[in-house]
Structure 1
Amino acid sequence: MIRFLTFPQSTWQHRQLWWRLTEREVLGKYRGSLLGVAWSFLTPLTMLGVYTFVFSQVFEARWGTLGSDGPLGFAINLFAGLIVFNLFAECINRAPTLVLANPNYVKKVVFPLEVLGTIAVGSAVFQALASLIVLVIFELIAIHHIPITFLFLPLVWAPLVLGCTAITWILAALGVFIRDLSQITAVLVSMLMFLSPIFYPVSALPKLWQPILAANPLAQVIEQTRLVTINGTSPDISYVSGGILFTMIACEIAFRFFQKSKRAFADVI
């Protein structure tokens, strides 16, 4: 298995480069702004306020789970889903233009282009971690404690991060050759936002539609995230083990696809 997987070795080999460029990516996003990195907290908090008002006050939606009654409880469940989705969406929306936005790395510099994908994922993970701090504060206000099962979150998110890395590598490679890909992914991500259980739990749907929605891999991550961060329930072992195994294989396939594709990047760009 270890010999079969080549992407962990490449990632570890370029870990210092990845760290420095990810740090530059995160800080550069807010460089020159008045509040700086504080926008990492204010942006999701603002969107949370808007979504919570619209769905819990205008549409009078309720979640109906333990410790989550009322608008604040709705906000906690909504925010947990948004954190997962925003991590995924940031990676997918950026992926098609990752290589195109860095032509100098392709033409003039000997640079491990595969690092661009992991940098994008690393930046998205940082934003997700900042949003988690906001989630913790909301939980302390609403239910006055943090479930011990919160510690399982890295296991729950492992398939998400690996899956985002795999998709990012594939889209980054395809985006060099298919310039319309960024428009396509933007539409698909917008559709996926409402086809994922962000504003509602899977159990709120008619039983006919529940298996269809549950087939959405993002739905599994969102539901498992709520289990460990809000409900105080341990994650599904089959989800964790199967998800990690599947996404590691997906990462290896995507990594090899990217490595083969990058030989033609200079000719196209």
Structure 2
Amino acid sequence: MLGRLWVFLAPFLMLMVYTFVFGHILRARWGAAQDNTSFALTLFAGLLLNGMFGESLSRAAVVMHNHSNYVKKLVFPTEVLPLSLVAASLVNSGIGYLIIVVAMLLLNHPPGLWVVFLPLSLLPFLLCVTGLTFMIAAFGAYFRDVNQIVQFLLVLLLFLSPVLYPMTSLPEDVRHYLLLNPLTIPVEMVRALLFGTPMPPTAQIAAYSLASVLLLICGVWLFLRVRGGFADVL
């Protein structure tokens, strides 16, 4: 029961902290007339993607060591382990977005009809996360230090993405660098579908989708290529 409660409680507590820091102290906003409630929901939409991203990658670094008893069994399909991490984080994020939609309905700010495309908009991000999860799981089996490196990079990517602040708050000559962050395009797309903010250009979405497919292929290929040595190093 506590585990199920934590699915709702963990993102809510994180939302309260970030809303206080960025909404009341730093007074960040995605619009001049935006109230605290709208700001919190907008912030929450980005934090959910960051949570999915961070949960999958941080757990991937140690997933082979944590389940070494399964990895050492020749009949066990080790590719299930990275996929289970992505699936679990996807469920948690899905519950979070359901909470956002319900909250918007209760606050008399129902989302537009475009919200039905929300699952489709998350597909490229899901492919990206899956590819990175397979890569990190493969490297993490051989190198213990991968976990520390991943934790540092996750914090860096969070603050170098429009999760905690709008892209319009940055100089125009800096904004295009944020597009290299795997969180940027999905966060902008989700907020556009939920809150009616500007959608990223089609070319950027297409480029991100192509990069996600290539990343998935490379990640799965690398994992399958090196998994034969997992049992030996574990």
Q: Same fold (TM over 0.5)?
A: yes
Q: Distance in 2 between matches of 1:45 and 1:137?
A: 14
Query: Which residue is 2:194 aligned to?
Result: 229
The residue correspondences of 1:1-269 to structure 2 (distance < 5 A) are 33=1, 35-64=2-31, 69-231=34-196, 236-269=201-234
Write the letter of the residue equivalent to 1:47.
M
Q: CA deviation at 1:257?
A: 1.1
Write the letter of the residue equivalent to 1:148.
L
* Secondary structure, aligned partner of 1:99: helix
Deviates more, 1:241-250 or 1:212-221: 241-250
CA contact (8 A) 1:84 1:222 kept: yes
Q: 1:215 to 1:36 in 2, by over 3 A?
A: closer
Where does the alignment leave 5 or more consecutive residues of structure 1 unmatched? 1-32
Write the letter of the residue equivalent to 2:29.
R
CA contact (8 A) 2:56 2:86 kept: yes
Q: CA deviation at 1:109?
A: 4.7
Q: Distance in 2 between matches of 1:214 and 1:242?
A: 10
Q: CA deviation at 1:227?
A: 0.6
Tell me the TM-score normalised to structure 1 length. Answer: 0.81
Q: Percent identity?
A: 35
Where does the alignment leave 5 or more consecutive residues of structure 2 unmatched? none
Q: How many residues align?
A: 234
Q: Distance in 2 between matches of 1:204 and 1:44?
A: 25
Query: Which residue is 1:25 aligned to?
Result: none
CA deviations 1:72-95 (Å, max 9, x no partner) are 111111111101111101111111
Tell me the TM-score normalised to structure 2 length. Answer: 0.92
Q: Distance in 1 between matches of 2:184 and 2:134?
A: 22
